[in-house]
Chains A and B, each alone.
Chain A
Amino acid sequence: MSLHDMNPTIKFATFTLIMFGLALFYNPWTPLIIIVGTLMIQLMATDVSWKKWSLFTIPFLITALGTFWTTLVFGKDLGGETWVSILGQSISKQEFAVAVSLSMRVLAFTVLSLLFMLTTDSKRFVMSLMQQARLSPTIAYSALVGFRFLPLMQQELHQLQYAHRLRGVPLNTRWERIRHVPKLLLPLLAGSIRRAERIAFSMEARGFTGGKRTVYERIDIKPTDYVWSCVFFLLFGLSIWAGI
Chain B
Amino acid sequence: MLKSWKLKEVVLVSVLSVVFAVVYLLFVHIGNLWAGLIGPIAYEWIFGIWFIVSIIAAYIIRKPGAAFISEVMAATIEMLIGNAIGPRIILVGIVQGLGAEAVFAMTGYRRYELWVLMLAGFGSAVTSFVYTYFMSGFAMLEPGYVATMFGLRTVSGMVIAGIGGKLLSDLLLKTGALRGYAISRSGHVHG
Give which listed residue, A56, A101, A200, contacts B84 with CB less than 8 A. Answer: A56
Q: How far is the CB of B168 from chain A (nearest CB, A)?
A: 8
Given the known interface contacts A62-B35, A146-B73, the answer about A122 and B80 at a Cβ–Cβ threshold of 8 Å is: yes
Give which listed residue, A146, A189, A197, A210, contacts B77 with CB less than 8 A. Answer: A146
Q: How far is the CB of B49 from chain A (nearest CB, A)?
A: 12
Q: How far is the CB of B66 from chain A (nearest CB, A)?
A: 12
A26 to B137, CA, bound (A): 8
Give which listed residue, A76, A117, A122, A199, contacts B11 with CB less than 8 A. Answer: A199
Residue of B nearest to A55 (CB): B84
Most buried by B among A66, A136, A188: A66
Residue of B nearest to A25 (CB): B137
Extra pairs beyond A146-B17, A200-B10, A201-B8 (4, CB < 8 Å): A59-B29, A67-B136, A142-B14, A187-B175
A69 to B37, CA, bound (A): 9
Q: Which A residues lie at the B interface, using CB under 8 A?
A: 12, 15-16, 19-20, 23, 26, 56-57, 59-60, 62-63, 65-67, 69-71, 73-77, 98, 101-102, 105, 109-110, 112-114, 116-117, 122, 125-126, 136, 138-139, 142-143, 145-147, 149-150, 153, 185-197, 199-201, 203-204, 208, 210
Given the known interface contacts A66-B37, A193-B177, A200-B8, the answer about A210 and B84 at a Cβ–Cβ threshold of 8 Å is: no
Asked if A146 contacts B15 (CB within 8 A), the reply is yes
Given the known interface contacts A76-B140, A193-B178, the answer about A146 and B82 at a Cβ–Cβ threshold of 8 Å is: no
Which residues of the partner chain A approach B38 to less than 8 Å between Cβ atoms? 66
Asked if B140 contacts A98 (CB within 8 A), the reply is yes
A243 to B17, CA, bound (A): 40
Asked if A71 contacts B141 (CB within 8 A), the reply is yes
Asked if A139 contacts B2 (CB within 8 A), the reply is yes
Question: Which residues of B, 60-105, contact A by the 8 Å Cβ criterion?
Answer: 69, 73, 76-77, 79-82, 84-88, 90-91
